[in-house]
Amino acid sequence: MNTNLKISNVTKIYPGCVANDDVSLEFNSGKIYALLGENGAGKSTLVKILSGVVIPDEGKIYLNKNILKLNSPSDAKKNDIGMVFQHFNLFETLSVFENLIIDSDEQRENLKEKIDTIMKKYNFSVDLDVPVLNLSAGQKQKVEIIRCLIRNPKVLIMDEPTSVLTEQETSELFLSLKKFSEEGILIIYITHKLKEVMQLCDEVAVMRRGKLVSVSQINNENIESLANKMVGQNLKTIKKTKEKTSSDQLIKITNLNYTSEDPFETNLVDINFSLNRGECLGIAGISGNGQSELFQVLSGEIISNKNSIEFNKNFIGDLNPQERREYLMAFSPEDRLEQAAIPQMAIFENVALNNFKSSNFFNNGLINESKIKEHSKKIISEFNVNTDNIDLKSQFLSGGNLQKLIIGRELITSPDLLICFNPTWGLDVGAINYIHETLIKINEQNKSIILISTDTDELLKLSDKITVIHRGKLSKIMNAEDVTSEKLGILMGGGN
């Protein structure tokens, strides 16, 4: 039976932002639809409306010509709309089976049988009795998909499903999605990755700033045309110009190990690498393979053996972050609002936070506000942070502006090494371009970068050397020119 889903004139307004502005779209089963847009374009709001999580201010949804009332997630379920969220909606401490039975009305045995059938049919293998927190991201996603399939959905919505997957897992997912589509399930695929749209989808709708800007057949589009529609301007492509690399060693890590007390952290095993001045070392990997532990060890949040880190001919493994900064290291942690900045504090106060000692911000323990403000203004103008108000609480800066502020705060002291962790995660294309340009610039100034990132395209663009972290171990260090994203994908999944 054919399924027809129609969104008619949907508007959703949040204070200070129109998330969906009069959006109308129509979908038919048998096809895979892409909903494309940058972060903040309104895709997520739209699918949350379809899954009953968010109630629109105006507009109607029709399923097979019947008007749908979606006031809660259970309404969406009742109407056979299944949704796999970007941030998994699973209960980490419950077993896989408990996660599946919790919203099912079926008897234990019937449900088990049903799950077995689904897993056989689509070639999924997930252990039903282990707690979800022991699963890989790919397996968690399979649990989410199984949860939807149990209800025989007419519509399946996937919200940015590949952001946590390896290349191999992604192609497996695509095969499954094509199979679902052949079986008559209407698939709506939300993403900001253009390659995936071209690979998987039949039709594409592009959103920008809450508005629908185009709907077209995939055959009439290519990556460039979609990128321009998504961003709304012609994008310049930045590229690193390969210069001579120096042989002047800046940092050397020798036999660095870290064993965590927490069983849900990853242990680091025999980390060895060295980096010369003016180079960028990219560390690839699927999140949760020891990146945050590695970042903490390198930044001094976790202290290690004194001799395991040699920086500029000093052994600094036992120093804390503040002391490491004095040796001219700088850090940009992954979570901007949790680790890099304090959301409730003003911009200028955040600027002062990483400069307790090596500056004239404090006189006898008192804050020298005018000096800090002067310094903050310098950062804001030099690093293109889009605000005039340095008294603004940092939580009100957009992700891109906050990241520029943080990178600026670190770089203005002119460090020899910048260690950054997912510096462009969740940013829009404009801000990503700016950050990338800045990182290339500091390499050109003969300063070094350690870039820990889950974005392989970013790594291939910026790195001189690349390594992959998998279960707390680094692969061998490779020259970036010799590496392809396929090769990285294999290493990220633990292959050779």
Partner 1 sequence: MIVDINFVGLIIASIMASAVPLILASCGELITERSGVLNLGVEGMMIIGAISGFALMTVTGSLIIAVFGAMLAGVLISTIFAFLTQTLITNHVATGLALTIFGIGISAMIGKNFVGIPGKEFPVLFEGLKDTIPLLSPILFGHSIVFYFAFTLPFMTSYFLKKTKIGLIVRAVGDSPESASNQGINVRLVRYACILYGGAMCGLAGAYLSMIYTPQWIENMTGGRGWIALALVVFSTWNPIKILIGAMIFGGLTIIQFHMQAIGVRIPVQFLTALPYIVTIIVLVVISRDSRKIRLSTPSSLGKSFHKDN
Contact residues for partner 1 (CB under 8 A)? 51, 53-55, 72-74, 77, 85, 88-94, 98, 101-103, 131, 133, 261-264
Q: How far is the CB of 14 from partner 1 (least distance, A)?
A: 9
Q: How far is the CB of 164 from partner 1 (least distance, A)?
A: 16
Sequence-distant (6+) residues with CB within 8 A of 381 are none
Short-list 395, 271, 398, CA closest to 337: 395
Q: How far is the CB of 175 from partner 1 (least distance, A)?
A: 27
Which residue(s) pair with 366 in the sheet?
363
Q: How many angstroms separate the Cα of 316 from the Cα of each of 117, 250, 415?
A: 56, 13, 16
- Under 8 Å between Cβ of 333 and 339: yes
Nearer to partner 1, 161 or 423 (CB): 161
Burial class (CB in 10 A: 0-12, 13-18, 19+), 489: buried
Nearer to partner 1, 4 or 267 (CB): 267
Q: How far is the CB of 222 from partner 1 (least distance, A)?
A: 36
Q: How far is the CB of 258 from partner 1 (least distance, A)?
A: 17
Q: What is the DSSP annotation of 265-290?
A: SPPEEEEEEEEETT-EEEEE--TTSS
Helix axes 429-444, 223-231, angle to 10 degrees: 100
What stretches of 153-269 show up as alpha helix (H) in DSSP?
167-182, 194-200, 223-231
Q: How far is the CB of 51 from partner 1 (least distance, A)?
A: 8
Nearer to partner 1, 24 or 74 (CB): 74
Nearer to partner 1, 75 or 202 (CB): 75
Q: How far is the CB of 470 from partner 1 (least distance, A)?
A: 22
The pair of three-digit structure tokens given for residue 381, joined into one six-digit string: 């103008």
Nearer to partner 1, 28 or 267 (CB): 267
For residue 346, report the phi and psi dihedrals to the nearest 5 degrees. -70, 160
Give the number of other CB atoms < 10 A from CB of residue 32: 24
Nearer to partner 1, 148 or 351 (CB): 148
Nearer to partner 1, 258 or 434 (CB): 258
Q: How many angstroms separate the Cα of 170 from the Cα of each of 68, 283, 428, 456?
A: 32, 20, 23, 14
